[in-house]
């Protein structure tokens, strides 16, 4: 960039500086990564609770294979952060790298996949239902030919639109891991009934939105302090549960479980009843046989896409690195992400081993599958235990005191508090970055004295309320849960491509960065990692979209409509923004040709 160009560049953006505050240390970034992956809130339910659906797969091997695949993505993201440590993360990298020919190829590729899926759905349904999805797919494919188009569509859908669906998912976790167990342990049976209802689900989702917004409003530094305490309390509580599971065995746990099921819910012989129901449930793929979590069966690779529901997110703080001190240090950033990933993977393996030892692998899977089938409408038969068998609560049953059990569940609430701020914090920075580039209105880029982008926060809060209502009162909408992960993986897939081509397509930018000195076999590390991450995520996306096992893509026509609506809306928004800014004499292509200010 010439000195003349540098003088003109600031005028392109909303202002000369972002106004955001560098309020995080490297440890804060690690804590955010660790809490984003979150063994308890995401892992124990959405990933580790579904082994019964692939009974011949290895639980332990699937965790390790997934972590290895995600390691490549962490290296690619750490490299991009070192090159451009800016608020907005994926949005900034994709709009600056996926331009011209790469943008057209990526946009056309995504469009081709979308058209294929819609065409498959058309063969199964009526044309008018999917017409909107077809239009959205074609519009999205053409955007790659414009600088910034494909980047905005991928990042806005992944970091903004789909995050609204995550609000009721966070609320659902709060409900089944905190509200319902506490109500049961404290003897509030009416509370258990209410919070298991649609009204209860909606109220907890609204409470989640309010709590999360309050945490984000504290600013980066304020939230980091709370998250650090949640990290310490959560790990201490997990250690207590691990010790309880270590010293117990299946016989002592079975006696404790039957005692508590009888005392809390009046259910007799609940342990065996749970196993029997799982074996006879016509909607269950569970075989009822004893399973070995360490055996490498043919279904192991089928488990990997499920494991990504918690191991996909070590880079969740990527949009925030414009506010992290020392973000240009490649090794420092990489250590934080890999720490969040591999510490969690290690704890997950320990948990699986202890669950098989203490709960019994058959019961553990049966407890999960009977609840999941009923909660998501795959079975009309309620499980013997009317609430989910939340593992910390199950371990707490080994102590014959409802008060102590409630204290353990309460302490595990720290995992949710430390996690819930991640719902809106990262997404606000993508919205802010787009406003800073003038794609979105200027008011969306305003920040408070503490560096809080209030308008961006409002733009994610409002649609979250709408989707929370749909999640609570529309049974089909609940089944779109895995779409929340798929869309984010698509965004990460696009960024992996950007990392792969950056050293060659943006050679001057790459060679001026500190990451340029890192090579493997003479090739740029960021490009190699980007290629491996692209291959891994591409395979996962293919599995999700092509197999009915996962309930998305061709396995769920409603899912296709939903995905088409999201990407079509993002594409339409970008087209409107280009026309609007052109009428004001603002060239978005010129803006996206420059690196935004810090």
Cβ-contact 374, 383 below 8 angstroms = yes
Residue predicted with more confidence, 17 or 438: 438
Residue predicted with more confidence, 288 or 106: 106
Beta strands in 248-359 (DSSP E): none
Per-residue model confidence (pLDDT) at position 111: 65
pLDDT above 80: residue 541: yes
Of 464, 454, 402, the residue nearest 431 (C-alpha): 454
Residue predicted with more confidence, 52 or 493: 493
Q: What number of other Cβ atoms are within 10 A of residue 552's Cβ?
A: 26
pLDDT in tens, 460-507: 999 999 999 999 998 778 888 888 999 999 999 999 999 999 999 888
pLDDT above 90: residue 13: no
**pTM for the full predicted model:** 0.89
Rounded Cα–Cα distance for residues 128 and 549 (Å) = 27
**pLDDT-derived band of residue 596, with 50, 70 and 90 as boundaries?**
low
Residue predicted with more confidence, 312 or 108: 312
pLDDT above 70: residue 176: yes
Per-residue model confidence (pLDDT) at position 509: 86
Residue predicted with more confidence, 15 or 529: 529
Rounded Cα–Cα distance for residues 188 and 323 (Å) = 44
Radius of gyration of the chain (CA): 24
Average pLDDT of the residues in 79-104:
82
DSSP structural state of residue 14:
S
Relative to beta strand 523-524, strand 519-520 is antiparallel
Tell me the domain boundaries of the chain. Answer: 20-592
Per-residue model confidence (pLDDT) at position 547: 83
pLDDT in tens, 407-457: 999 999 999 999 998 898 888 888 888 888 888 888 887 877 666 778 888
Name the least confident of 337-351, 372-386, 435-449: 435-449
Residue predicted with more confidence, 136 or 555: 555
pLDDT above 80: residue 4: no
**pLDDT-derived band of residue 380, with 50, 70 and 90 as boundaries?**
confident
Rounded Cα–Cα distance for residues 284 and 271 (Å) = 18
| Mean pLDDT score across all residues of the chain | 84
**pLDDT-derived band of residue 6, with 50, 70 and 90 as boundaries?**
very low
pLDDT above 70: residue 187: yes
Three-state SS for 597?
coil
**pLDDT-derived band of residue 104, with 50, 70 and 90 as boundaries?**
low
Question: Can you state the angle between helices 100-122 and 557-583, rounded to 10 degrees?
Answer: 140
Rounded Cα–Cα distance for residues 497 and 99 (Å) = 12
CATH 1.10.10.10 fits 20-592, yes or no: no
pLDDT above 50: residue 1: no
Outline where 379-453 has alpha helix (H): 391-396, 402-420, 422-436
**pLDDT-derived band of residue 148, with 50, 70 and 90 as boundaries?**
confident
Per-residue model confidence (pLDDT) at position 308: 95
pLDDT in tens, 296-328: 667 889 999 999 999 999 999 888 876 677 667
Name the least confident of 165-169, 227-231, 261-265, 567-571: 567-571
Residue predicted with more confidence, 17 or 42: 42
Rounded Cα–Cα distance for residues 54 and 369 (Å) = 11
pLDDT in tens, 205-250: 999 999 999 998 888 888 889 999 999 999 999 999 999 999 999 9
Residue 261 is encoded by which pair of tokens?
């099921």
Per-residue model confidence (pLDDT) at position 9: 40
**Ramachandran class of 58: left when φ > 0, alpha when ψ lies in -120 to 50, beta otherwise:** beta
Average pLDDT of the residues in 327-341:
87
Cβ-contact 431, 460 below 8 angstroms = yes
Rounded Cα–Cα distance for residues 532 and 193 (Å) = 48
DSSP string, 541-591: HHHHHH-GGGSSGGG-HHHHHHHHHHHHHHHHHHHHHHHHHHHTT--HHHH
**Residue 36 C-alpha from the chain's centroid:** 8
Average pLDDT of the residues in 123-149:
54
Outline where 356-401 has alpha helix (H): 361-375, 391-396
């Amino acid at each position: 960039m010439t000195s003349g160009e540098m003088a003109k560049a600031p005028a392109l953006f909303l202002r000369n500086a972002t106004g955001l505050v560098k309020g995080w240390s490297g440890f804060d970034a690690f804590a955010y990564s660790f809490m984003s992956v979150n063994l308890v809130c995401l892992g124990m339910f959405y990933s580790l609770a579904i082994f019964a659906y692939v009974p011949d797969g290895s639980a332990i091997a699937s965790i390790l294979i997934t972590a290895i695949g995600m390691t490549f993505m962490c290296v690619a993201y750490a490299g991009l952060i070192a090159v451009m440590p800016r608020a907005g993360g994926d949005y900034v990298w994709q709009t600056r790298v996926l331009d011209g020919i790469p943008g057209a190829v990526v946009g056309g590729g995504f469009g081709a996949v979308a058209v294929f899926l819609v065409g498959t759905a058309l063969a199964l349904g009526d044309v008018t239902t999917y017409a909107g999805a077809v239009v959205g797919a074609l519009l999205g494919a053409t955007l790659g030919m414009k600088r910034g188009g494909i980047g905005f569509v991928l990042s806005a859908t992944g970091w903004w639109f789909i995050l609204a669906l995550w609000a009721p998912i966070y609320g659902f976790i709060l409900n089944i891991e905190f509200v319902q167990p506490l109500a049961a342990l404290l003897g509030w049976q009416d509370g258990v009934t209410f919070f298991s209802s649609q009204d209860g689900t909606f109220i907890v989702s609204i409470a989640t939105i309010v709590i999360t917004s309050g945490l984000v409003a504290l600013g980066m530094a304020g939230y980091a302090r709370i998250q650090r305490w949640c990290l310490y309390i959560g790990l201490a509580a997990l250690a207590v549960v691990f010790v309880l599971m270590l010293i117990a065995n299946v016989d002592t746990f079975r006696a404790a479980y039957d005692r508590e099921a009888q005392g809390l819910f009046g259910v007799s012989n609940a342990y065996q009843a749970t196993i029997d129901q799982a074996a006879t449930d016509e909607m269950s793929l569970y075989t009822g046989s004893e399973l070995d979590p360490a055996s490498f069966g043919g279904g192991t690779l089928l488990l990997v896409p499920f494991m990504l529901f918690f191991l996909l997110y070590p880079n969740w703080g990527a949009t925030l690195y414009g506010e992290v001190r020392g973000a240009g240090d490649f090794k420092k950033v990489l250590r934080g992400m890999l720490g969040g990933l591999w510490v969690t993977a290690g704890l997950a393996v320990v948990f699986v081993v202890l669950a098989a030892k203490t709960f019994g692998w058959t019961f553990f899977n049966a407890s999960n599958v009977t609840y999941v089938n009923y909660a998501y409408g795959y079975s009309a038969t309620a499980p013997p235990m009317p609430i989910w068998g939340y593992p910390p609560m199950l371990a707490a049953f080994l102590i014959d005191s409802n008060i102590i059990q409630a204290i353990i569940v309460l302490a595990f609430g720290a995992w949710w508090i430390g996690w819930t701020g991640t719902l809106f914090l990262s997404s606000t920075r993508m919205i802010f970055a787009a406003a800073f580039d003038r794609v979105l209105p200027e008011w969306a880029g305003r920040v408070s004295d503490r560096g809080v982008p209030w308008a961006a926060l409002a733009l994610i809060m409002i649609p979250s309320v709408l989707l929370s209502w749909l999640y609570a009162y529309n049974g089909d909408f609940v089944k779109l849960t895995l779409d929340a992960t798929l869309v984010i993986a698509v965004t990460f897939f696009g960024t992996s491509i950007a990392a792969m081509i950056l050293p060659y397509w943006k050679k001057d930018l790459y060679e001026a960065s500190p990451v340029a000195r890192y090579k493997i076999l003479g090739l740029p590390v960021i490009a190699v990692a980007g290629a491996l991450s692209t291959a891994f995520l591409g395979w996962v996306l293919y599995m999700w979209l092509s197999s009915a096992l996962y309930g998305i893509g061709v396995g769920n026509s409603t899912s296709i409509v939903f995905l088409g609506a999201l990407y079509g809306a993002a594409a339409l928004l970008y087209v409107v923004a280009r026309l609007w800014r052109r009428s004001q004499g603002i060239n978005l292509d010129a803006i996206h040709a420059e690196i935004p200010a810090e």
